[in-house]
């Protein structure tokens, strides 16, 4: 991996930045020691641009928010935001990053109209958005010419496709080993650090990877020592694996702190992180440390890997061969597999026995199990056996052989569309990856079938089990709890758990008819949605900016900011009943309330204030209401919230 830090450090004299709610811990984080981005993270931390959490972690694989990325980007440009009053977006007027967001708008980095004036600053940052922001910050223009990405159809769908091409050409963002760009993938905190350093290098106008920069060369090394062997790289081809390519070594120069390969690539000496793999005679070695001794470069090996192999008439490089473990989807490649011996390999610290575990590679449209490692002094190769597909992507209805729901079977000929709700987002059948163990993968995250809801023509089913049989899938399901969804800030949620609040009265979503955008009908009356309308979901209340009906999704869509008043969200977490000022019962077991000539559980009503509650769109007096606990009836004479908690005390007398 290229080291791009020395000239970058000279650029880091700007305002330090800490993510909101995080501690000011510097430098060394407890969870980055073995992480691929540890050096990038440490560099930005040492410069004061980022910090970790109070527990000493950095959480490198957590998704970075738009607000966090914008703040770091503005800071590393050397700009101190001055406008903290404007609100270019409907949901940033009270946000902690408003100053940086406003500055990004002023600089042309953010364009409010692209977001329909709703930024969702705390939502995850997509790779396409990062590309656009950095290219605009550099005052470069989008390039709409064709790209070579293998997922160019997805790239073309992005409104930022021209910025993606420019960002790639500037080396701000690179593609994935498989040739994809993945414009809609989210950026992690670790990836952000790498992107910011790439940006600073381009913005600074120089690169440590160019001849003539950095420290003065103090010595030339003529050979490389690996294990007991010494290689003269002028006569024996020696390659450094850099950015997924094997670069043949033609020269090595050294200073006290680092070496420079071919007058271009720089690596630190005596460092235990970010050392390149070295390939000699088609053997690839993971390197734990590099040292200079006399005219020799001493490379300490940590493992042995597969560099390349021939299959049929084709040659494959391990950086570009997908790897699957025990029939499960991974984001691993063959180059991530370390060789223990002829029948054992290790991936991410876990050892796999090739005689027992299933370690599979994907070549073209076929899958092969690795059955043995062939170790040699000049070459390491693998033996393979053709196997059933481990994953299927780009699925259609024809890839499903049966869907069983309880004791019935769905008629596949009458189903026109199947979608999946995963982690609150809705995916078409063609946009999920399903592996042979029955797990789903989206956004580089894997979910078990029990975490996925199937939506077949708007009817919902919980997936109990998923099996692969003869290249097709069989679903075993039960009736879902909901056949009706609401899109709340782009997340799909159970409509039964959503209520619309109007003047402190709660209405179930099926009582609300959306006529057109921000025009609704409730109980025969028509309303223009204004500040008196709110949306309640779980413990969160949202001020509604927009409510509409999306015909393509066949559901109501709601957008809005979370309400910070906390009033409606504080429904009682516990009820405590008192009789004659003495505690009678804690909790609502066997407790019901008489409303409109019927008995209801307390979970069916909404407490609007200590003296009132709502049900079915109507408001009722809580004081004076009739309560039944077990078989005894009472009248409520008083209520009170207990301090700042969500405990509601109810005082009763015999009815």
For residue 4, pLDDT beyond 70: no
Q: What is the model's pLDDT at position 410?
A: 93
21-37: pLDDT as tens digits = 333 333 468 888 878 88
pLDDT of 130 reads: 95
pLDDT over 80 (residue 464): yes
pLDDT more than 90, % of the chain: 35
Give 4's DSSP letter: -
Rounded Cα distance between 455 and 494, Å, is 12
437, 453 contact by CB (below 8 A) = no
Rounded Cα gap, residues 362 and 314, in angstroms: 13
Q: Are 1 and 245 in contact (CB under 8 A)?
A: no
Return the half-sphere exposure (C-beta side, CA atoms, 13 A cut-off) of residue 475.
Answer: 29
Report the pLDDT value the prediction gives residue 569, as an integer from 0 to 100: 57
pLDDT tens digit sequence for 240-266? 998 888 999 999 998 878 888 988 888
Q: So what's the pLDDT on residue 212? A: 32
pLDDT of residue 131: 94
Q: What pLDDT does 622 receive?
A: 93
| Rg value, the chain, Cα | 30
H helix or E strand, kind and range, residue 68: helix 66-76
Which helix (H) or strand (E) segment holds residue 265: the answer is strand 265-268
Residue 528 pLDDT > 70, yes or no? yes
Per-residue pLDDT reduced to its tens digit, 530-549? 988 988 887 788 889 999 99
d(CA 635, CA 619): 18
State the Cα angle at 333 between 332 and 335, rounded to 5°.
Answer: 125
- Domain map (residue ranges) of the chain: 6-204, 219-305, 308-387, 392-479, 485-562, 574-654
Most confident of 21-25, 421-425, 637-641: 637-641
DSSP-assigned states of every residue in 290-354 = EEEETTEEEEEEEEEE--EEEETTEEEEGGGSEEEETTEEEEEEGGGPEEEETTEEEETTEEEET
Asked if the model's pLDDT at residue 9 lies above 80, the reply is no
Q: Report the C-alpha gap between 651 and 632 in whole angstroms.
A: 15
Cα separation, 495 vs 204, in Å, equals: 51
Please enumerate in sequence order all residues whose Cβ is within 8 A of that of 5, keeping only pairs 6 or more positions apart, or say none. Answer: 39, 43, 197, 208
The predicted-structure confidence for 589-612, as pLDDT tens digits, reads as follows: 889 999 988 998 887 788 877 888
Which residues are 296's β-sheet partners?
Answer: 223, 293
- Mean pLDDT, all residues of the chain: 84
Query: How much helix, strand and coil, in percent to the nearest 5, is found in the chain?
Result: 15, 40, 40
Could you tell me the pLDDT band of residue 204, with boundaries at 50, 70 and 90? low
Q: What angle do CA 33, 37, 39 make, to 5 degrees?
A: 70
Q: With beta carbons less than 8 A apart as the criterion, state whether 426 and 440 touch.
A: no
Closest CA to 154 of 186, 185, 115: 185
- pLDDT of 542-585, one tens digit each? 889 999 998 877 789 999 988 776 555 557 878 999 998 889 99
Q: Calculate mean pLDDT across residues 371-391.
A: 88
Q: Which helix (H) or strand (E) holds 479?
A: strand 472-479
Q: What is the pLDDT of residues 296-353, one digit of tens each?
A: 898 888 889 999 998 988 999 999 999 999 988 888 999 999 998 899 999 998 999 9
Structure tokens at 584: 């009678």
CA distance linking residue 562 with residue 541, whole number of Å: 6
């Amino acid at each position: 991996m290229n080291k791009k830090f020395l000239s970058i450090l000279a650029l880091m004299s700007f305002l330090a930045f800490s993510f909101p709610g995080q501690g000011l811990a510097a430098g060394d984080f407890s969870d980055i020691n073995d992480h691929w981005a540890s050096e990038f993270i440490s560099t930005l931390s040492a410069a004061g641009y980022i910090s970790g959490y109070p527990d000493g972690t950095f959480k490198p694989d957590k998704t970075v928010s738009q607000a966090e990325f914008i703040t770091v980007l503005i800071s590393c440009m050397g700009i101190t935001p001055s406008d903290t009053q404007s609100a270019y977006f409907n949901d940033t007027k009270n946000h902690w990053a408003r100053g940086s967001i406003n500055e990004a708008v002023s600089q042309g980095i953010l364009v409010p109209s692209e977001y329909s004036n709703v930024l969702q600053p705390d939502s995850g940052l997509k790779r396409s958005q990062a590309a656009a922001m950095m290219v605009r910050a550099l005052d470069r223009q989008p390039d709409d010419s064709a790209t070579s990405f293998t997922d160019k159809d997805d790239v073309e769908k992005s409104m930022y496709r021209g910025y993606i091409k420019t960002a790639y050409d500037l080396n701000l963002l690179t593609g994935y080993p498989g040739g994809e760009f993945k414009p809609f993938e989210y950026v992690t905190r670790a990836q952000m650090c790498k992107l910011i350093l790439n940006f600073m290098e381009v913005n600074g106008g120089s690169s440590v990877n160019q001849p003539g920069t950095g420290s003065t060369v103090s010595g030339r090394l003529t050979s490389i020592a690996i294990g007991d062997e010494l290689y003269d790289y002028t006569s024996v081809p020696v390659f450094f694996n850099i950015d997924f390519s094997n670069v043949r070594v033609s020269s090595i120069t050294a200073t006290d702190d680092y070496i420079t390969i071919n007058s271009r690539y720089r690596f630190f000496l005596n460092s235990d992180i970010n050392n390149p793999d070295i390939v000699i005679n088609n053997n690839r070695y993971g390197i734990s440390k590099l040292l200079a001794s006399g005219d020799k470069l001493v490379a300490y090996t940590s493992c042995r890997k597969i560099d390349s192999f021939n299959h049929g008439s084709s040659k494959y490089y391990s950086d570009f061969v997908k790897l699957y473990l025990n029939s499960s989807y991974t984001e691993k490649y063959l180059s991530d597999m370390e060789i223990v011996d002829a029948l054992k390999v290790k991936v991410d610290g876990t050892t796999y026995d090739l005689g027992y575990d299933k370690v599979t590679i994907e070549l073209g449209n076929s899958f092969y199990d690795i059955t043995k490692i062939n170790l040699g002094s000049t070459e390491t190769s693998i033996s393979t056996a053709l196997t059933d597909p481990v994953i299927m992507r780009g699925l259609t209805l024809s890839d499903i052989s049966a869907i069983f729901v309880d004791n019935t079977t769905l008629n596949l000929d009458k189903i026109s569309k199947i979608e999946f709700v995963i982690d609150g987002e809705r995916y078409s059948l063609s946009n999920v990856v399903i592996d042979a163990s029955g797990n789903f993968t989206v956004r580089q995250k894997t979910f078990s079938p029990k975490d996925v809801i199937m939506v077949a023509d708007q009817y919902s089913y919980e997936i109990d089990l998923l099996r692969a049989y003869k290249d097709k899938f069989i679903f075993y399901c039960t009736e879902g709890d909901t056949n009706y969804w609401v899109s709340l800030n782009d997340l799909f949620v159970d409509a039964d758990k959503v209520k619309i609040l109007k003047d402190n009265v709660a209405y179930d979503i099926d009582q609300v008819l959306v006529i057109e955008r921000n025009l609704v009908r409730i109980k025969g009356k028509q309303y223009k949605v204004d500040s008196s309308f709110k949306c309640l979901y779980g413990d969160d209340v949202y001020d509604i900016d927009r409510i509409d009906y999306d015909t393509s999704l066949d559901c109501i869509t709601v957008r809005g900011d979370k309400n910070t008043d906390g009033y409606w969200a504080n429904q009682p977490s516990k009820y405590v009943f008192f009789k004659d000022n003495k505690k009678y019962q804690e909790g609502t077991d066997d407790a019901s309330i008489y409303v409109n000539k019927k008995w209801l559980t307390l979970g069916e009503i909404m407490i609007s204030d200590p003296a009132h509650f709502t049900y079915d769109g109507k408001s009722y007096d809580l004081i004076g209401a009739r309560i039944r606990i077990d078989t005894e009836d009472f009248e409520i004479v008083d209520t009170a919230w207990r301090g700042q908690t969500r405990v509601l005390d109810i005082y009763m007398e015999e009815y």
